[in-house]
Homo-oligomer: A and B are copies of this chain.
């Protein structure tokens, strides 16, 4: 590559999105790229020419290792949606103007569905206007809902955090329960796809009986059936722990969290901001059964807990960043790097580059065949798929008793 490159991060952070930046940086450095820029706060910051020189932070291997252990988006993120091209050519021209100003040959963008739309729009614009600049997508989303790729970097670490925390919560909940069980309802992220909530199934093992029911947004939520299930569990068990997706909805399409609060806020992409599903259900169960209930929301922690990241996930996040640069070097543009599973035992995974048009704005739900017949559990198909993704650990660097992070000056 003769020119420089820039990498950005977009959308909700993950525990390993910084490993993708590390991967982009490492590959570009190997290729002798002179300046490796980072855009501060994604394409929104890029439009304001807000760039940093990553070489100032990652000039030695210690910097790379610390970046891998740093949660959230090191470069800052954004939820900026590129406007449609017609009538907004100025916004697009601005992007290319800034790229030319810094001699940037290729732009790498790590993100989920919405961010891949940005890559698509920019590469479409470049193609339509004969611009030489290239645009590559680097997959990242705890939601694991990008199509084509076997899974998404960020998911394995979120799944590991969810399963590990649920094991701790189950143990805590089991410690009482001499007379009547406490019903603990745990709310997990995932607007339309239940991948994260499905990870609750991974808590089960030799030393843990697991959660008692898992409610995914892939199935319509029925309050009467839910209440009957809870009552049955409370009669037969000394501890009840239930995982629910924030995105569960009743038959008319209304989210359960909207049953509690009609005025749910909406973000820049028109997505409703979910919260309060577990608290609402816990209150309903307490009122109807008189049992003690507890609502837990993993909230931000499930996407920020780099201290519990999966090493497999960290390595794959690094790999997709690295291989995006390799693909761009080969002249590719308008593509996203996918993870392609080659084997389960032992687990093996490669990468390839795939046309962004097949990926942007497409959401992939949990496959039907992995959901148990009663609709509130996952079977061994999911276990086989997900377990390898949570394997391995990268010990944080502890300073003064806490994990140390890399920060922008």
Please tell me which one of the listed residues B70, B171, B296 contacts residue A71 in the complex, with CB atoms under 8 A apart: B171
Q: Is the CB of B76 within 8 A of A174?
A: yes
Most buried by B among A72, A165, A175: A175
Q: Given the complex of chains A and B, what is the CA–CA distance between A292 and B286 in angstroms? A: 30
CB of A227 closer than 8 Å to a CB of B:
no
Interface pick from A106-114, A211-219, A330-338, A385-393: A385-393
Q: Given the complex of chains A and B, what is the CA–CA distance between A287 and B306 in angstroms? A: 32
Interface residues of A in 254-304 (CB under 8 A from B): 265, 273, 275-276, 279, 286, 292, 294-297, 299-301, 303-304
CB of A407 closer than 8 Å to a CB of B:
yes
Q: Is the CB of B207 within 8 A of A406?
A: yes
Q: Which residues of B sit under 8 angstroms from A73, Cβ to Cβ?
A: 175
Q: Which residues of B sit under 8 angstroms from A319, Cβ to Cβ?
A: none
Most buried by B among A41, A168, A301, A305: A168
CB of A13 closer than 8 Å to a CB of B:
yes
Q: Is the CB of B299 within 8 A of A164?
A: no
Q: Which residues of B sit under 8 angstroms from A174, Cβ to Cβ?
A: 72, 76
Known contacts: A72-B175, A73-B175. The answer to whether A164 contacts B403 by CB under 8 A is: yes
Please tell me which one of the listed residues B9, B78, B296, B307 contacts residue A301 in the complex, with CB atoms under 8 A apart: B296
CB of A173 closer than 8 Å to a CB of B:
yes
Q: Is the CB of A165 within 8 A of B305?
A: yes
Interface residues of A in 166-189 (CB under 8 A from B): 167-169, 171-176, 178, 184
Q: Is the CB of B169 within 8 A of A301?
A: yes
Q: Is the CB of B300 within 8 A of A71?
A: no
Most buried by B among A71, A178, A202, A305: A178
Q: Which residues of B sit under 8 angstroms from A295, Cβ to Cβ?
A: 275, 299
Known contacts: A44-B178, A292-B265. The answer to whether A301 contacts B402 by CB under 8 A is: no
Q: Given the complex of chains A and B, what is the CA–CA distance between A363 and B43 in angstroms? A: 53
CB of A231 closer than 8 Å to a CB of B:
no
CB of A65, distance to nearest CB on chain B (Å):
14
Q: Is the CB of B299 within 8 A of A45?
A: no
Q: Is the CB of B294 within 8 A of A300?
A: yes
Known contacts: A406-B207, A407-B207. The answer to whether A77 contacts B303 by CB under 8 A is: no
Known contacts: A71-B168, A401-B202, A402-B167. The answer to whether A175 contacts B76 by CB under 8 A is: yes
Q: Which residues of B sit under 8 angstroms from A398, Cβ to Cβ?
A: 393
Q: Given the complex of chains A and B, what is the CA–CA distance between A279 and B299 in angstroms? A: 12
Please tell me which one of the listed residues B45, B273, B395, B405 contacts residue A395 in the complex, with CB atoms under 8 A apart: B395
Q: Is the CB of A308 within 8 A of B307?
A: yes
* Nearest B-chain residue to A73, judged by Cβ: B175
CB of A187, distance to nearest CB on chain B (Å):
11
Known contacts: A171-B70, A175-B73, A178-B45. The answer to whether A265 contacts B279 by CB under 8 A is: no
Q: Given the complex of chains A and B, what is the CA–CA distance between A174 and B13 in angstroms? A: 11
CB of A163 closer than 8 Å to a CB of B:
yes
CB of A79, distance to nearest CB on chain B (Å):
7
Q: Is the CB of A303 within 8 A of B393?
A: no
Q: Which residues of B sit under 8 angstroms from A102, Cβ to Cβ?
A: none
Q: Which residues of B sit under 8 angstroms from A301, Cβ to Cβ?
A: 165, 168-169, 296, 301
Q: Given the complex of chains A and B, what is the CA–CA distance between A318 and B308 in angstroms? A: 25
Q: Given the complex of chains A and B, what is the CA–CA distance between A44 and B179 in angstroms? A: 10
Q: Is the CB of B172 within 8 A of A300?
A: yes
CB of A238, distance to nearest CB on chain B (Å):
9
- Known interface pairs A273-B292, A275-B295; 13 further A-B residue pairs with C-beta atoms within 8 A, sorted by A's residue number: A71-B172, A72-B175, A73-B175, A168-B301, A169-B304, A173-B300, A184-B300, A207-B406, A275-B279, A276-B279, A295-B299, A310-B401, A395-B395
Nearest first, the 4 A-B pairs at minimum CB distance are A390-B401, A72-B171, A168-B304, A73-B175
